[in-house]
Structure 1
Amino acid sequence: MPTPKPIAGSVLAPMSFPKLGGGTVTVGGPKENWTLFVVYRGKHCPRCKKYLNILDGMTSDWADAGFDIAVVSADTQEKAEADQAEFGWGFDLAYGLTEGQMETLGLYVTEPLSTAETDRRFAEPGTFVIRPDGSILLIAISNGPSARPELTELLDGMIFTKNNDRPPRGTV
């Protein structure tokens, strides 16, 4: 029986990933700040790079709004290091997302088209907003690379949500 998909308002059990530069990135569970958690397809995806470059340009805006940013893929450390070296992103970049973690997050999983694409199954995009108490406020998952939340609109909506203490939606 498959793991049920996460539900807005439910608490995400802490999930940790190895972080470039050492240590780990943990999402879920109690935190001081809100978390913007982005799952990207990996080094092979040019649309991911475009999206993450936009996010990198907005890191101070997200931080000013009280958000930590965590980004992860199923890539190996070497592939994540290559992306970091090429793009110089300032957010925490993690790697090694497992298929079990993909399932827990309710992500779509894809078989590579060939070894030229990548050497392992990978998660399609997912964006999550997690409250400081560890509960999931927003879940945006896609089954392909072309559909992701527009980051400026998302930030504006999250600022409104925080300032007005809005509840998670889509819980029925």
Structure 2
Amino acid sequence: MIKPRTETPDLSINLLNDTKWTLSEQKPENFTLVVVYRGKHCPVCKKYLETIQDHLGDFKDKGVNVVAISSDSKAKAEASYKEWDIKDVPLGYEFPIEEARSWGLFISKGIKNEPEEFVEPAIFLIRPDRTLYASSIQTMPFARPEIVELIKSIDFVNNKDYPARGEA
């Protein structure tokens, strides 16, 4: 588990636009939001990422860079990109399971039409110096932070200079 106010591991992942996204190279005004989603098999993830798409402008206005990543193959990520309404969401693929574990993420074994193993969802709100501000780590697709509430919280944090909590 990564504690708030401590440096996160660096993260480098291939994006569907044939670029490599690297956390240490991000230069957001306030935060980088790393959204880990389960993969194409997850209808809850589809809705969540589509909501992020609807609010990308809000995140940008608040100085937040967004990336969504999964352990899906490139082909599955491409299919998600084509079938879901997420045309502006930077989409990363093949997030290694062992690296996901180093971030404190939960891994599930597939049932029915799911991949053999995949990463459960999480969000990480990371300061420009790569220290963790906040995280929400799930064990299943449900109970994720609401995007609109997260945006309101970012406003509060920025306006009140509210410190990261949970570091003790």
Question: Smaller-chain TM-score range?
Answer: over 0.9
For structure 1, the residue ranges without an aligned partner over 5 or more in a row are none
1:85 and 2:82 equivalent?
yes
In structure 2, C-alpha distance between the alignment counterparts of 1:20 and 1:31, rounded to whole Å:
17
Which position in structure 1 is the counterpart of 2:50?
53
Q: Is the 8 A contact 1:30 1:134 kept in 2?
A: no
1:165 and 2:154 equivalent?
no
- CA RMSD between the two structures: 1.2
1:76 and 2:108 equivalent?
no
Which position in structure 2 is the counterpart of 1:63?
60
Alignment deviations for residues 43-70 of structure 1 (CA, whole Å, 9 cap, x no partner): 0000000111111100000001101101
Alignment deviations for residues 128-164 of structure 1 (CA, whole Å, 9 cap, x no partner): 1001111110010010111100111111111211222
Using the TM superposition, give the Cα deviation of residue 22 of structure 1 relative to its aligned residue in structure 2, in angstroms: 0.5
In structure 2, C-alpha distance between the alignment counterparts of 1:106 and 1:100, rounded to whole Å:
10
Q: Which runs of 4+ in 1 moved over 3 A?
A: none
Question: Pick from 129, 133, 138: which aligns with 1:142?
Answer: 138
Q: Is the 8 A contact 1:55 1:151 kept in 2?
A: yes
Q: Is the 8 A contact 1:30 1:133 kept in 2?
A: no
Q: Is the 8 A contact 1:31 1:133 kept in 2?
A: no
Amino acid at match of 2:119: A
Identity of aligned residues (%): 34
In structure 1, C-alpha distance between the alignment counterparts of 2:69 and 2:120, rounded to whole Å:
11
Alignment deviations for residues 88-123 of structure 1 (CA, whole Å, 9 cap, x no partner): 411110000111211111011000014x222x3111
In structure 2, C-alpha distance between the alignment counterparts of 1:124 and 1:165, rounded to whole Å:
31
